[in-house]
Amino acid sequence: PSRFEGVTMAPPDPILGVSEAFKASTNEMKLNLGVGAYRTEELQPYVLNVVKKAENLMLERGENKEYLPIEGLAAFNKATAELLFGADNPVIKEQKVATVQGLSGTGSLRLAAAFIELYFPGAKALISSPTWGNHKNIFNDARVPWSEYRYYDPKTVGLDFEGMISDIKTCFVFHELYSPEGSFVLLHGCAHNPTGIDPTPQQWEKIADVIQEKNHIPFFDVAYQGFASGSLDADAAAVRLFVARGMELLVAQSYSKNLGLYAERIGAINVVLTSSDTAARVKSQLKRLARPMYSNPPIHGAKIVANIVGDPTLFSEWKAEMEMMAGRIKNVRQKLYDSLCAEDKSRKDWSFILKQIGMFSFTGLNKTQTENMTNKWHVFMTKDGRISLAGLNLAKCEYLSNAIIDSYH
Ligand code: PMP
């Protein structure tokens, strides 16, 4: 008998499982709106031209494959913190930021979670309801307890701002879960996943007020900088607003979406502190945690980012390509809205589609309705009703709107 007899079958990942089901389908009309990866208007994967140029440069220079230091590539760490906070932000000049290169957004979140578990034992993470599914896995595996704050209002398919503030303030979430003061409040820096609903600038101010009042620590997840609005600075506004208040906070970054570097696993964890001395100590501990986990991060993606950001021509080309990608998604969003209004005899108010931003749209479809989308219409999507507009093109908007209307009624 096997010594591994007690190992049970793990359930498939709810997001990555959608792609597998899509691949297995033989229907001609099939549409993959599950995973959040950018597609061209022809629905093909896209490698940015600036990335190809940076890779050519690297080949020409004949760069080596030596180990990086534990904290990653120095030029990348500098560039990534500057992109996030702004190069002239006092926290950067005064060296109050501990930046460590991570294994993309996920690895950076995981490293921060390990740090929280070690230095803030018993502290909770407060996460939005709903949130990106992997957040719960990350905190579970790092043994950081978590509870949810209200975020999505199904009645308006919008933000439940009162509920959010109340849950962060009173620390009672869904009645039974108690979250002590000094929790880590996980916030999506821009383009909330899965809802596509972000707070307004005024609402961010109020969120910051409550977090300060309650002595919580903000923990931003920034996976879509530049991809939501098309502007790197605009998409960093929420993070910068908190930093300008002198708050200590954490920010995980990812270059999967905005540079299309999904498989290169490039991102960073930044901890903003109130002194350079604390920043140095926090950084030393992040390195200490990384060493036995993966020793040091991969070099290729880090060099691509550093080369693009460090070269004014490539940098402006990147911004143009990012605007192009964000623009295509906005066009598809508009066309989907127009088709829904044109096709829907019941004249439901679909304006929530236009109010949402970023790669995703929350349709408000429930589990049974999403099953109809997949089984009858061959539209592959997650069961929470989220669709990735990056996997849609103008030609298929009408088909999708018919599928949505049919599934709603
Ligand atoms: N956070 C959020 C909210 C995301 O949507 C994603 C990507 N789906 C990530 C983090 C991390 O992705 P990656 O590990 O590829 O950077």
Ligand 1 mean position, distance from CA 406 (Å): 31
Least confident residue range of 163-172, 206-215, 297-306: 163-172
CA atoms within 13 A on the CB side of 149: 28
Question: Residue 86 pLDDT more than 80?
Answer: yes
Task: Identify the residue whose C-alpha is closest to ligand 1 atom 7.
Answer: 223
Ligand 1 mean position, distance from CA 133 (Å): 10
Question: Residue 225 pLDDT more than 80?
Answer: yes
pTM of the predicted structure, to 2 decimals? 0.95
Report residue 374 as tokens. Answer: 């997949």
**Which residues, other chains included, contact 83 with Cβ-Cβ below 8 Å and sequence gap of 6+?**
225, 232, 236, 309
Mean pLDDT over all residues of the chain? 94
Counting Cβ atoms within 10 Å, is residue 276 exposed (0-12), middle (13-18) or buried (19+)?
middle
Report residue 247 as tokens. Answer: 């708050």
Q: Write down the ipTM of this complex.
A: 0.99
Task: Identify the residue whose C-alpha is closest to ligand 1 atom 13.
Answer: 105
Ligand 1 mean position, distance from CA 36 (Å): 9
Mutate to test the pocket of ligand 1, among 101, 127, 137, 193 (most ligand atoms within 8 A of CB): 193
Among all residues, which ones are annotated catalytic? 132, 221, 257
Per DSSP, what are the bridge partners of residue 128? 149
At 99-158, the pLDDT tens digits run: 999 999 999 999 999 999 999 988 999 999 999 999 999 999 999 999 999 999 998 889
**Vertex 119, ends 115 and 123: CA angle to 5°?**
95
The answer to whether 318 touches 259, Cβ cutoff 8 Å, is yes
Exposed e or buried b for every residue in 332-362, given b needs 16+ CB within 10 A? Answer: bbebbbbbbeeebeeeeebebbebbbbbbbb
Closest atom of ligand 1 to CA, residue 221:
1
Q: Using a pLDDT cut of 90, give the percent of the chain over it.
A: 88
Ligand 1 mean position, distance from CA 226 (Å): 14
pLDDT at 176: 43
Task: Identify the residue whose C-alpha is closest to ligand 1 atom 11.
Answer: 105
Q: Which residues line ligand 1 (CB under 6 A)?
A: 36, 104-106, 132, 188, 193, 221, 223, 254, 256, 262, 267
Ligand 1 mean position, distance from CA 192 (Å): 11
Beta strand extents in 297-392 (DSSP E only): 360-362, 379-380, 386-388
Closest atom of ligand 1 to CA, residue 188:
3
Ligand 1 mean position, distance from CA 224 (Å): 8
Task: Identify the residue whose C-alpha is closest to ligand 1 atom 1.
Answer: 223
Mutate to test the pocket of ligand 1, among 35, 108, 134, 382 (most ligand atoms within 8 A of CB): 134
Q: Using a pLDDT cut of 70, give the percent of the chain over it.
A: 97
Q: What is the mean pLDDT of residues 58-69?
A: 94
Dihedral, 168, 354, 394, 392 alpha carbons, nearest 10? 10
Instruction: Of 361, 384, 353, give the one whose Cα is nearest residue 371.
Output: 384
Ligand 1 mean position, distance from CA 219 (Å): 14
pLDDT at 35: 82
Question: Residue 213 pLDDT more than 60?
Answer: yes
Q: How far apart are CA 149 and CA 143, in angstroms?
A: 19
Type and span of the H or E element at 137: helix 134-141
Task: Identify the residue whose C-alpha is closest to ligand 1 atom 8.
Answer: 36
Q: Which amino acid, one-letter code, is at 353?
A: I
Three-class SS of residue 395?
helix
Q: How far apart are CA 309 and CA 226, in angstroms?
A: 13
Task: Identify the residue whose C-alpha is closest to ligand 1 atom 2.
Answer: 223
At 346-379, the pLDDT tens digits run: 888 999 999 999 999 999 999 999 999 999 999 9
**Vertex 407, ends 403 and 409: CA angle to 5°?**
125
pLDDT at 203: 98
Task: Identify the residue whose C-alpha is closest to ligand 1 atom 16.
Answer: 105
Task: Identify the residue whose C-alpha is closest to ligand 1 atom 4.
Answer: 223
At 143-188, the pLDDT tens digits run: 999 999 999 999 888 999 999 999 998 864 443 455 556 899 999 9
Mutate to test the pocket of ligand 1, among 16, 18, 106 (most ligand atoms within 8 A of CB): 106
Mutate to test the pocket of ligand 1, among 16, 195, 197, 254 (most ligand atoms within 8 A of CB): 254
The answer to whether 374 touches 387, Cβ cutoff 8 Å, is no
Least confident residue range of 68-82, 114-128, 170-184, 235-249: 170-184
Q: How far apart are CA 244 and CA 14, in angstroms?
A: 38
Ligand 1 mean position, distance from CA 240 (Å): 20
What does the DSSP 8-state code read for residue 214?
A: T
Closest atom of ligand 1 to CA, residue 267:
16
